Amino acid sequence: MLLSVLDQSPIAEGSTGADALHNSLDLARLTDSLGYHRYWVAEHHGGPMLAGPSPEVLIGPIAAATEAIRVGSGGVMLPHYSPLKVAESFTILAALYPGRIDLGLGRAAGTDPLTTFALQRDRRQAAPDDFPQQLAELLAYFEDDLPEDHPVRHLAKTLPGRPELPVPWLLGSSQQSAIWAAELGLRYAFADFIHPDGSEIAKLYRERFAAVRDLQAPRTAVAAWVLCAPTDEEAQQLASSSRMTFTLLRRGQLIAVPPPEKALAFFARDRRTADDDPPGRRWIVGSPNKVRAGIETLASAYGAEEVIVVTITHDHAARRRSYELLAEAMDLQPRALQTVSV
């Protein structure tokens, strides 16, 4: 089983977005050396908790700071963009870092409705819900198979990074995303940390998969919330920071990631225990042995060849340590890398 990283560039209370972005570079270098398979960065807009609104900007510095780990988007929220612009940007990345760039694509806005509106170029009316058409056009640019009479067919040949191309993935947390991924023959990453218990959706993807592209068999990854510490108790304390942010998010309050002591005090006032999972969320939290068992159970349920780990803590050193302990628990093979700095 492959183990990978989804980094949302969390902003800790008392720090800045710039700090969070430098932490992303540091974590990428660490996980590259530990033997993780890929490093994806997310897209979120307009909030105080996450500093990653532009994966297409962040991927380049991360790829430059690492040597072997695959780097990509988890994902680009396609409704905000022109398919041609995405194709151009990611072929540039693929040309500069050949064989290492992934393009994970999503349909969600990654923000609230007002910020979604602010992201629109044309604000005279709501943007159309035409994700399937956008996705088909983007893939057609890569494959140079737009219809003969298509007015922009010639643009596929002008993609600046050719012949290098990114590897496309479809991201999702719904049955519809599984159907699209299957029908288009795409790799599929399911967000269990958003919609737990999606094993039947992953099964639907595998059952309907059509080998119409380079992929000859379905390829499933599952993304999960994971936090590993030397003991279960310490892991639960560290996880209280994220749990507080998501508890308040459900109440419409957006905050930076608080320190554990503040989160524990919050839960004491709220008459809840800090190790209660927020509704609609699954967390794999605990000591290395406990976390390994949870990851293996999750991968088995989804029939997934790969688990993509999302970890948020207030303290960056604790997040680093979580990935180190997880790599050891999962028997990852460290890489001997040169020292790369950005």
Position 271 pLDDT exceeds 70: no
- Residues 22-74 have pLDDT tens digits of 999 999 999 999 999 999 999 999 999 999 999 999 999 999 999 999 999 99
Identify which of 30, 85, 99, 17 has the alpha carbon closest to the alpha carbon of residue 62. 30
Position 339 pLDDT exceeds 70: no
Is there a contact between 256 and 11 (Cβ–Cβ < 8 Å)? yes
Region for residue 271 given its phi and psi (left: phi exceeds 0; alpha: psi -120 to 50; beta: otherwise): left
Write down the mean pLDDT value for the chain: 94
The residues spanned by each domain of the chain are 2-329
- Residues 119-163 have pLDDT tens digits of 888 888 888 889 999 999 999 999 999 998 889 999 999 999 999
User: Does the global pTM surpass 0.85?
Assistant: yes
CATH for the 2-329 domain, from 3.40.1190.20, 3.40.50.2300, 3.30.365.10, 3.20.20.30: 3.20.20.30
- Residues 72-113 have pLDDT tens digits of 999 999 999 999 999 999 999 999 999 999 999 999 988 888
Position 234 pLDDT exceeds 80: yes
Q: What is the mean pLDDT of residues 284-302?
A: 97
Q: What is the pLDDT of residue 134?
A: 96
- Residues 153-195 have pLDDT tens digits of 999 999 999 999 999 999 999 999 999 999 999 999 999 999 9
Whole-number percent of the chain with pLDDT over 70: 96
Task: Give the count of alpha carbons within 13 A of 52, CB side only.
Answer: 27
Output 216 or 111, whichever has higher pLDDT.
216
Q: CA 148 → CA 140, 144, 145, distances in Å?
A: 12, 10, 8
Q: What is the pLDDT of residue 250?
A: 87
Rounded to whole angstroms, the Cα distance separating 22 from 15 reads 11
